[in-house]
């Protein structure tokens, strides 16, 4: 059953209700066998491969069922029933996967927007393979990272030039912020934030080759 555990169960169909005796009447004619497929989240699920049969009453195995003659069950209807179940799950799983992908991308953009620009640049450099050294100054690391990106063998040389230029400019502003007087800090912070927002749009397209 498509690589899933399967088994055959033997029992009885629901039978018919007798209003006189107020009982369900189940005769030998209701003897029946049906396939069951095991799903991790749902357990054993019964399938009714015989056309015209009512929904199965899962009352367990009937005693003495070996002496009955249940109708033969072919493999083809079982495959159809299994495929139908899998298709229903597919309609549930695919939208969930797409939604998760969109949410993940949105979270990354949100995180990039909220994190410190310099720390964000250092994190990006580490992912590319150029971590911040213990003795690196802000300017040294910015220049080294820009040169590191420029050496990538990519089909978009203009992209490399833009990223390298923005990396150097961002590191220069961050370095200046450390020594700037208070009146100048507000303008520098705004410029750093603007540069980082502009730069981060290109970061996902830069890949080491």
pLDDT for residue 66 is more than 80: no
pLDDT for residue 15 is more than 60: yes
Distance CA 1, CA 35 (A): 10
Distance CA 58, CA 67 (A): 20
Distance CA 15, CA 56 (A): 10
pLDDT at 132: 93
Q: What is the mean pLDDT of residues 144-155?
A: 84
Distance CA 139, CA 141 (A): 6
CA distances from 149 to 13, 28, 135, 202 (A): 71, 79, 20, 12
pLDDT at 171: 93
Residues pairing with 25 in the sheet: 16
CA distances from 114 to 2, 31, 111 (A): 47, 67, 5
Of the spans 13-17, 66-70, 80-84, which averages the highest pLDDT? Answer: 13-17
Say if pTM beats, i.e. exceeds, 0.85: no
């Amino acid at each position: 059953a498509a690589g899933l555990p399967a088994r055959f169960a033997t029992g009885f169909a629901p039978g018919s209700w007798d209003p006189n005796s107020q009982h369900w009447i189940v005769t030998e004619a209701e003897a029946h066998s049906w396939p069951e497929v095991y799903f991790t989240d749902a357990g054993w699920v019964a399938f009714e491969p015989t056309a015209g049969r009512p929904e199965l009453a899962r009352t367990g195995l009937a005693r003495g069922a070996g002496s009955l003659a249940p109708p033969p069950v072919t493999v083809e209807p079982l495959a159809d029933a299994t495929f139908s179940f899998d298709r229903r799950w597919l309609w549930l799983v695919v939208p969930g996967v797409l939604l998760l992908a969109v949410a993940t991308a949105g979270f990354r953009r949100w995180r990039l927007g909220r994190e410190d620009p310099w720390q964000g640049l250092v994190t990006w450099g580490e992912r590319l393979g150029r971590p911040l050294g213990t003795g690196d100054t802000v300017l040294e690391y910015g220049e080294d990272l820009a040169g590191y990106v420029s050496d990538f063998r990519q089909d978009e040389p203009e992209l490399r030039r833009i990223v390298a230029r923005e990396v150097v400019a961002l590191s220069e502003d961050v370095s200046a912020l450390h020594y700037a007087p208070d009146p100048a800090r507000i303008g520098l912070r705004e410029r750093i934030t603007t540069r980082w927002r502009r730069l981060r749009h290109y970061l996902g397209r830069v890949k080491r080759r």
